[in-house]
Amino acid sequence: MLKSSSSLGRPFVVYFVVAVALSSSCRWGSDSSDGVVPEFTTAEVEIVEELATSHPALHIELAGRRDAESRDVRGPVETSAATPAGPAAETSVDAFAETSANPPSRADVRLLIGPGFAADEQAESAIEELNRLRPIRIVRITTNSFEESEESFLSKLTETEKLVIESDSLVEEPLEQLRGLKKLRELRFVGSPIRDEQLEALSQLPQLELLWLTNTKVRGRGFASFANHPKLHTVILTTSPIDDSGFEQLAKIKSLKTIVANGSDVTDRGLRHLFKMTWLELLNVESTSVTDGGVGDLKNVLPETTILH
């Protein structure tokens, strides 16, 4: 249920802006939000056509330029009968939440890696050359089998800022290869078996601002490695089994301003770990075992924090 807050005595309704509210330029399509039709150069076309022939599971396109605007990542939008409470925009895996007010100076490259892709030397060489000509900023992987070769392939994409991995399997080793993506700002796992012990590798991403873990196996203790992370401001854990001990670790992240944990395993005990988190701006614990009393106790301590329950 959406709750009202007040600021300087003026009531307002808190609306949540997530993927479904993004500009069309961030979807996996060839549209352009400002009427500019992005084009590849001749050299880039040669690479794209080569890859389309040799690796049909790779899809490469240009992201349309967009006007500068700031967007908040808060959590699910207001739900309706057709949109279940909690996950809401989680069904939209075609877009990323925007957290930057600085648009690209020209159209960047989007790379979609579909089922059946097998990374090899030819693909790696072509992608590295394309990345040199024009940065590959956005990458999305949709596969039922995320292999070690694909993990290694990702490490070549050093300009990537936004990454989605939709896969029900991961290599057993921690995602060490992702450490090389030093410019990564937004990372999303959907339906992935990623576990707490694998979060340590992700905490080494210095520019990471938003971590979105949808329907994973993360319970939260792995967030201990993020305690001193300089930029992580939003964690979305919808339908992941984050529990009270996980909230204890989240409360130690000084940069964290938004926690979306709807459909998680947190209880009132977990909320008590947040009592000293005076920098927290928004908390979503809809569809959990948290009670009205627990929310009231937290609200008394953190009156400026918006809480959805």
| Full-model pTM | 0.74
- For 89-127, the pLDDT digits (tens) are 333 333 443 334 344 445 788 999 888 888 888 888 898
Mean pLDDT (whole number) for 141-154: 69
The total number of residues written for the chain in this structure: 309
Domains of the chain in start order, with CATH, are 4-308 (3.80.10.10)
CA distances 241 to 67, 83, 266, Å, are 37, 21, 8
Give me 198's structure tokens. 């694998």
- For 183-222, the pLDDT digits (tens) are 999 999 988 888 898 898 899 999 999 999 999 999 999 9
Share of the chain above pLDDT 70, in %: 69
| DSSP class per residue in 206-223 | TT--EEEEES-S--SGGG
Please say whether the beta carbons of 236 and 260 come within 8 A: yes
DSSP H helical ranges for the chain: 42-54, 121-133, 148-154, 199-202, 244-250, 268-272, 292-301
Please say whether the beta carbons of 99 and 71 come within 8 A: yes
Mean of per-residue pLDDT scores for the chain: 76
pLDDT (0 to 100) of residue 7 = 38
- For 16-59, the pLDDT digits (tens) are 333 332 233 333 333 344 434 458 889 999 999 999 999 998 89
- Single out the residue of 63, 34, 85 nearest to residue 285, CA to CA: 85
Give me 42's structure tokens. 């001749």
Please give the angle made by the CA atoms of 75, 137 and 56, to the nearest 5 degrees. 105
Share of the chain above pLDDT 90, in %: 49
Please say whether the beta carbons of 250 and 275 come within 8 A: no
